Amino acid sequence: MGQEILIIALAYLKAFAVGGGICLIAQLIINFTDLTAGKILVYFMLAGVVLTAIGLYQPLVDFAGAGATVPISGFGYLLANGAMRGAEKGLFYAVTGALSAASAGVTAAVVFAFIMSLIFKSRTKRS
């Protein structure tokens, strides 16, 4: 029992450290470069694609789980992974694989965004 709690706690800690580390890099980019938020978002996603393609992102996902898949670089990982898996079946599936893998996430994002827009209204933040 004690062992199990320790494993769970360790998994949380790993996810927090890796996810936090990715966000830390983004915060440093915001503070010390003139890149806009939109560009940072796209670069992080592309970085996820490239790192997955050269085999560096998969070990990170194995190690940290959601800590590596939840940030936007995890979306790049999902696209690249889908394409690579599709490629095993043929060229056609290499093209469709990326979006098939991401379809659940994208659809969920659209549906939940729609529901939230019905319930809440945007307003100016305080700071």
Partner 1 sequence: MKKGNTVFFKNKPCIESFSAVCGSKEKEGIIGQYADIALDDDMYGESTYEKAECKMLTTAILQCIEKRGMTEKDVDVLISGDLLNQIISASFAARDYDIPFLGVYSACSTMSESIMLGAMLVNAGYVKRAVAATGSHFASAERQYRYPLELGCTRPPQSQWTVTGAGSCMIGKSGKIKIVSATMGKVCDFGVTDVNNMGAAMAPAAADSIMQHLKDTGTQSDDYDMILTGDLGALGSRIVKDLCWEKGFDISKVHVDCGEIIYKVVENEFQGGSGAGCSATVLNSYVLTKMQAGLYKRILFAATGALLSTVSSGQGESIPCISHVVEMEL
- Shortest Å distance, C-beta 55 to partner 1: 31
Contacts for 84 with CB less than 8 Å, ≥ 6 apart = 52, 53, 94, 97
Q: Does 122 bind partner 1 (CB under 8 A)?
A: yes
Q: Does 30 bind partner 1 (CB under 8 A)?
A: yes
Give the nearer residue to partner 1 in terms of CB position, either 3 or 124. 124
Contact 68, 22 (CB under 8 A): yes
In this structure, what token pair is assigned to residue 116?
């939230």
Binding residues among 9-28 for partner 1 as defined by CB under 8 A: 27
Q: Judged by CB under 8 A, which of 4, 34, 62, 88 binds partner 1?
A: 34
- Selection from 80, 39, 41 nearest residue 57 by Cα: 80
Q: Does 125 bind partner 1 (CB under 8 A)?
A: yes
- Shortest Å distance, C-beta 109 to partner 1: 13
* Cα–Cα distance list, 29 to 34, 43, 44, 118 (Å): 8, 11, 11, 34
Q: Does 38 bind partner 1 (CB under 8 A)?
A: yes
In the three-class reduction of DSSP (H, G, I as helix; E, B as strand; rest coil), residue 8 is classed as: helix
Binding residues (CB under 8 A) for partner 1: these are 27, 30-31, 34, 36-38, 122-127
